Structure 1
């Protein structure tokens, strides 16, 4: 049975099933509490920019597909939840409490929400704040949220992770290795050794400086996150 079918009737009562501390066995899709919370979060995201369009349900349904027999129940809950963004934090906390030991499940949910937000080509500041807050409530690393944001919305050309060519949640070792490799390739001495003109050496110097600055920025940000977590 689809988890969407199991959602029937849950909108009318409190989801006590969410109040447990152990990640439930089986697939999340078989968990009514999961499906209720995901539907509510998707619906309230639609309201985050101040207006909930009926077409946004189509996008939600495309990401979190419902079986034909349960779509009516999903749509009714979605329409109810999208009236306001109030309460979204409670749903996010419930999911973390239930799936905190399964962070990939929570990341997949946030990934789907990012996809929904970006589907119309515009992600407002309010929608982004909503998504970042959900990620925080899920207990996901800020670097994971940053990677998802870059995946769906793109990253600025001056983003330090773009400069080093690594994902925002790459390990410290991966970041350091990328920095060393890029710095070795761009080092001005390589341009000099190849006998290139002075302007090429200047370009190499600027690139090396940008690589070092990117690595320094990432290091500072990660130290700040580490202190914040501690």
Structure 2
């Protein structure tokens, strides 16, 4: 069964008048997490689109890119997006329910934030309202300030990314510890690890850019140490 059919079934199970946010109270077990992850990214991106007041074609294309949505499944993705936009529940309520849904799955929440950043910058502009939105979501998810800065430095092209921020380490950390941390990030980014924590196969391509960013950051730090 395709993930979009499973998403359709989850939406159809909503009671009359029940908002999309109710789904997040139900999809908590591992087999359902890939469905939950997909709905969460699309739903929060819909709320984010309301934050800056625009829904651009680039942002819609970015959602397709994150999930590799086939043409026959576009209607299902649009249904989730529109349900979230119309839902009276605010984005903070969504974020709290999503965090509760994933429990201690902090890595999965970081994967989810990465998808949101990808969508936020799709139109070439990182709006202040989007920054405020993503910062608040990250706070609710329990992400540290360093983790959020690392994500933002990888995605927002306003300056050359600080390799230490990209890896989420400090400048005074011993290089051996940085190397150990980098290797753990690489292990966590492996597709098998992502699938195991509930990221749908359709979204695992997010790891390609992440792996490149992590490796480039480590190489830059290593080169500085050797200079």
TM-score (norm: length of structure 2): 0.62
In structure 2, stretches of 5+ residues that fail to align are 176-227
Candidates 47, 72, 80, aligned match of 2:50: 47
| Cα distance in 2 for residues equivalent to 1:77 and 1:25 | 21
| Cα distance in 2 for residues equivalent to 1:121 and 1:171 | 28
SS of residue paired to 1:56: helix
Q: How many residues align?
A: 169
TM-score (norm: length of structure 1): 0.61
| Bigger Rg, structure 1 or 2 | 1
| Cα distance in 2 for residues equivalent to 1:55 and 1:79 | 17
**84-93 or 123-132, larger mean C-alpha shift:** 84-93
What does residue range 65-76 of structure 1 map to in structure 2 within 5 Å? 65-76=68-79
Q: CA deviation at 1:113?
A: 0.6
Candidates 117, 122, 143, aligned match of 1:119: 122
RMSD value, Cα: 3.0
SS of residue paired to 1:8: helix
| Cα distance in 2 for residues equivalent to 1:177 and 1:155 | 28
Residue 29 of structure 2 corresponds to 24
Residue 174 of structure 2 corresponds to 177
Residue 100 of structure 1 corresponds to 103
Candidates 165, 168, 174, aligned match of 1:167: 165
1:77-105 deviation digits (Å, cap 9, x = unpaired): 21343358962112211111011311111
In structure 1, stretches of 5+ residues that fail to align are 179-230
